[in-house]
Structure formats: C-alpha cells, structure tokens
Amino acid sequence: MTQVYDRVALIGLGLIASSMFWAIKRSGLAQEVTGFARSQETRETARRIGLCDRVCDSAREAVEGADLVVLCVPVGAMEAVAKDIAPALKPGATVTDVGSVKRHVVDAVAPHIPEGVHFIPGHPLAGTEHSGPESGFAELYDNRWCLLIGSENTDTAAMAKLRSLWEGMGANVEEMDPDHHDLVLAVTSHAPHLIAYTMVGVADDLRRVTDSEVIKYSAAGFRDFTRIAASDPTMWRDVFLTNKEATLEILGRFTEELFALQRAIRTGDGDHLFDYFTHTRAIRRSIIEAGQDTDAPNFGRGQVTGQKKD
C-alpha cells in the first residue's frame, strides 16, 4: 500500500483512534502519526504501548504540520477541540472526525475551521464495547463501512485522499448527506443501543429475578443486550443528546410496533407473530449475505467476545 499522507494527527486516543493508528501502520499509509489525549494517564499509556510515533502534550502541538487531523473524541467534545486546534492548523490540511452523529458535528465544528483548511466529516461503522487506548486493533475497519460527508463545496482532491486512507485501512467508503446519515444510524445503531440499555435496566429492576439469577441464567438474547449496554456511557450520552430528532422518530415507530406485537400476544394472533419473525429473519440473512456479520453459531464468538458494532 502506498503512503497517503505525510503526517496524520489523532486527537483523542481511544478505541477508534488507536485502531486507526495500527491500521495506518499496517499498510504504511502515513509517514508519521502524532497523537494527543486530554488526560496524562492516557498519554502515558499511549507512550508505553507505542501508540503513535509521537504523543504530544497539547492538541495544538499534535496538529502542527499535520496534513490530516482526525478528531476522535466524543461528539459533545468536538466543538471545543476544533476551537482549540484551529489556530495551529496547516493551510491546505484536512480536518475530519469519526463521531457517530454527523449533523451536530458539521454545525459545531465547521464554523471553527479556518479558510484554506478542508473539513470532511466521517464515521466508520465499526467498533466494540471496549474503549480506551489499549482497546484498538488494526483489523477493526476491515470490510466495514466508513461514511464520509461531502457537499458541493467539498474539495475533490481532499476527499479522494481521505477516501484512500480509509480504503487503505480496509474500509469500504461511501459518501452521505449528514441528515440522512443521522436517520440511518438512528435505525441501525442508536435506537438499538437505547433498547439494549433499557432491557438490561429492566432486568436489573426486576425484584422477582435476583441479580445472581439474571447473570447465572443469562440466555443468548439477554447476553447480547448486555454486551451492547456495556458501551461507553460518555459516547452514548452524547449520541442521544445530539441525534435527538432521528432517535425519537425511530423510537416512536418502535413503540408502535411493540404495541402491535403486545396485542398479537394478548389476542393469541400467532399468524401475526410468525409473519413478523419470518420477515425479521430475512433481514438477518441479508446482513450476513452483505458480509456485515458471521453466520457462525453464537455470532462466531466461541468462548471469546469481540463482536463488532458501531
């Protein structure tokens, strides 16, 4: 693989940034990768494990001279970081991000990007329930989607380079409008996470089932919910606060469907339940056919977890 950028700066050194670093190194996509995290603890961990060629003590120092700056912090922190680094950005550089919500990031970050610097938001649809600098791995983006947000004003050369970087890290790239992105992700990721958080919360609340029973007899369905509900609280708080409308729209529809299924159970309408479950099973099959999950029993997990999600 050929080098795409001379210098890449990663701001925020958690799961997404560390996976980017290892994937960039795997394929030699940049000559130097600098990094910054707000806590000294994370910076020290990064230095200890060799995460980034150079770990800097300020975000400004990390972005100086960088051709690509990637904002890898929670969505709610993007604006403050953009404001902080703006004076140090190199003319002609590209700023991108990996945030799970796009309209908010566009509105919060774009006003701080200086003239002559390109801003192309992005979102890799890949992740795990783990976070922090030690959770990343080079293969995270292999055969996963990365959505890039372009507009009629987007510099085509800057977009092409960013696309090459993501493809070099193993991802398939598609361009999308920010509002459409937020609606799609509300369906595929945000609402399911909220439902998982709720389901685990409900089980925890049930006094008839003791905590130890919930854990001891944890069946596949509940276990999958607990994995999703173990995701980073800061990240997910920010997702819901910043993708309010689309998430509420999908949850409204979810509630209607839930009521219909509740009614089918109460009235003994087995045909309704059977048809519904047949339809959902077909959706699962099409996800496997699209190469976005494995058909192996127990999601191919065996004894080890490490399921991908976004």
Strand order in the sheet with 145-148: 122-124, 145-148, 172-175
Residue 272 binds ligand NAP (CB under 6 A): no
Q: Rounded to the nearest whole angstrom, what is the least distance from the CB of residue 131 to ligand NAP in the complex?
A: 3
How many C-beta neighbours within 10 Å does residue 87 have? 10
- Which position among 15, 109, 171, 203 is part of the footprint of ligand NAP (CB under 6 A)? 15
Residue 145: strand pairing partners: 172
* Cα–Cα distance measured from residue 61 to residue 211, given in angstroms and rounded to the nearest whole number: 48
Considering the complex, what minimum distance in angstroms separates the CB of residue 43 from ligand NAP?
A: 7
**Do 155 and 118 touch, CB atoms closer than 8 A?**
yes
* Sheet bearing 5-11, strands edge to edge: 54-55, 30-36, 5-11, 68-71, 94-97, 118-119
Q: Which stretch binds ligand NAP (CB under 6 A): 25-33, 127-135, 211-219, 262-270?
A: 127-135
Of 45 and 94, the one with the shorter C-beta distance to ligand NAP is 45
Report, in Å, the least distance between residue 47 CB and ligand NAP: 13
Considering only 127, 150, 168, 170, the residue that binds ligand NAP (CB under 6 A) is: 127
Please give the DSSP secondary-structure letter assigned to residue 299: G
Q: Is position 170 an interface residue for ligand NAP (rule: CB under 6 A)?
A: no
- DSSP E strands in 111-183: the ranges are 118-119, 122-124, 145-148, 172-175
Is 38 one of the binding residues for ligand NAP (CB under 6 A)? Answer: yes
Instruction: State phi, psi for 224 to the nearest 5 degrees.
Output: -65, -40
C-alpha 64/C-alpha 309 separation (Å) is 33
Kindly state whether residue 51 participates in binding ligand NAP, applying the rule CB under 6 A: no
Nearer to ligand NAP, 4 or 51 (CB): 51
For ligand NAP, the binding residue among 55, 90, 93, 99 (CB under 6 A) is 99
Q: How far is the CB of 21 from ligand NAP (least distance, A)?
A: 11
Structure tokens at 5: 């950028």
User: Residue 310, interface with ligand NAP (CB under 6 A)?
Assistant: yes
Question: Rule CB under 6 A: which residues touch ligand NAP?
Answer: 12-17, 37-39, 42, 72-75, 77, 81, 98-100, 123-124, 127, 131-132, 232, 235, 310
